[in-house]
Amino acid sequence: MKEVQIQLENTKLAELGLGSEITYAPLRFNEAHFIGYWINSDGDTITFYLGSQSFLCANTQKNIIIFETIFNQAIQ
């Protein structure tokens, strides 16, 4: 199991077109469900996929290492 801090969205404010303070919560996931990731154009966030769901997390070296480790294990 791996753990990444994902961004939480206040859907009520988002529906009104209002932004809110970015908050994070831990998400533990099975590496077998990891599909891939990309760094968003803002450069601050990463979108990653677990099965058919997508999540946002901070663009940090720690998160990139987690994702690349999963890819490297799948290749071996």
Is 46 within 8 Å of 56 (Cβ atoms)?
yes
**At 72, is the secondary structure helix, strand, or coil?**
helix
**What is the average per-residue pLDDT within 55-69?**
97
Distance, in Å, from the CA atom of 17 to the CA atom of 38, rounded to the nearest integer, reads 25
Average pLDDT over the chain, rounded to an integer: 90
Tokens read off for 55: 């999540």
- Looking at residue 19, its pLDDT comes to 67
- Pick the range with the lowest mean pLDDT from 15-19, 48-52, 71-75: 15-19
Domain ranges of the chain: 2-75
pLDDT in tens, 23-47: 999 999 999 999 999 999 999 999 9
